[in-house]
Structure 1
Amino acid sequence: MESWYLVVCKPKQEERAKTNLQNQGIEAFYPKLTTERLVKGRRTVKQTALFPNYLFICLESKNGNFSAVKNTRGIGGFVSYGASYQLVPELIISQLKNERLHTIESKIPKMGDVMCVNNDSFSNIQAIYKEPDGDMRSILLINLLNQKIEVSIDNKDIAN
């Protein structure tokens, strides 16, 4: 009977460990999380492990090649509970595999958010976020002389 086990990977080597295990014919899995954020004023989308440094593997409970898993590049070892390796219920694995874990971080402003602008032209001026203007800039509404004026500003010059 096959069971799912939890293993610890070396830092940032989940994908390497997964590939090496799959090359040995061992089913391996780790859920990924997609995040979107502003980095140096640019919108970037990045996939990271939902559980950093952990990997789920499927092995035969009695005849599984546990020593091969422990000696695989990228693997640190099994997570154990007392003297036995940590089992993961099939229900949890199936839910993690079926879920589309795409969450967008709240660092990206949304229409109507109040922002603070701080650059050469405007110093600590409050503005309302309207929309992105390419990858590096955003369009904001600034209140000048009791009128809302659209201004395109570098993303690095605005903050929540």
Structure 2
Amino acid sequence: MNIYPAEGASTCAQQKSWYLVQCKPRQDERAEDNLARQGYEISRPKCRYQRLIRGQRQWTVESLFPGYLFINLPADSNWGPLRSTRGVSRVVSFGGVPVAVSDSLIKQLQARAEIDAKPELKPGDNVRITEGGFAELNAVFMAIDGEERVILLINLLNRQQQISLPVASICSNE
């Protein structure tokens, strides 16, 4: 009797899945640091946006899901060390069993986080409009207009026109 798996086959102990971890209030970063220090693979999707702080616009980075992060573990892992990690409250579970999150969702969130990490735009930077009626047109960034909008300069009918669009509908042309 062969007790070893066939070549190319995997065992449950070798298969890893992503699980959702709830952090203690405002301790996402602390939990992430402590779990990473213990050697766990962590994903904490973040978003970057501008906000008004003391009258000045500044870029801030925050968790996309405040109070939560994802951890990649084998299904038969010992969950005890996670619960005793500083910043961690619990592993999200249903009926006492941690529920796996799909790999494709984690990959999509990580890809989205890379897009959101674009550098701050400066007047004169070339951008591409990605959404709306002007989608796929190139434009020149001029300024921030309000909390979530930008002023762009586009060439329309051989004239330069100013338009205002949501900041989420543009991407840098670098």
Q: TM-score range by the shorter chain?
A: 0.5 to 0.7
1:108 to partner: Cα distance = 5.2
Q: Gaps (5+ residues) in structure 1?
A: 113-160
2:37 aligned with 1:23: yes
Asked if residue 107 in structure 1 is aligned to residue 120 in structure 2, the reply is no
Task: Note if contact 1:38-1:108 (Cα within 8 Å) is conserved in structure 2.
Answer: no
Q: Which amino acid aligns with 1:91?
A: S
CA offset digits 1:33-77 (Å, max 9, x no partner): 101022221011100000000010011111x13100111000000
Aligned to 1:83: 96
Provide closer, same or farther for how the CA distance between residues 70 and 81 of structure 1 changes in structure 2, counting only shifts above 3 A: same
| Larger RCO (alpha carbons 8 Å, 6+ apart) | 1
Are 1:38 and 2:78 counterparts? no
CA distance in 2, matches of 1:50, 1:101: 13
Aligned partner of 2:166 in structure 1 is none
- What is the aligned residue count? 113
Q: What is the distance in 2 between the residues matched to 1:83 and 1:21?
A: 22
The 2-side partners of 1:95 and 1:108 are apart by 23
1:96 aligns to 2:136 (yes or no): no
The residue type paired with residue 92 of structure 2 is V
**What's the secondary structure of 2:20's corresponding residue?**
strand
TM-score (norm 1): 0.63
The DSSP-based 3-state class of the residue aligned with 2:116 is coil
- Matched letter for residue 33 of structure 2: T
- Is 1:55 the counterpart of 2:55? The answer is no
Distance 1:86 1:74 in 2: 20
- TM-score scaled by structure 2? 0.58
Tell me, yes or no, if structure 1 residue 3 matches structure 2 residue 17. yes
RMSD of aligned Cα (Å) = 2.6
Higher strand share: 1
Structure 2: runs of 5 or more not aligned: 1-14, 121-143, 153-174
Which of structures 1 and 2 has the bigger CA Rg?
Answer: 1
Alignment pair present for 1:66 and 2:79: yes
Matches within 5 A, 1:116-135: none
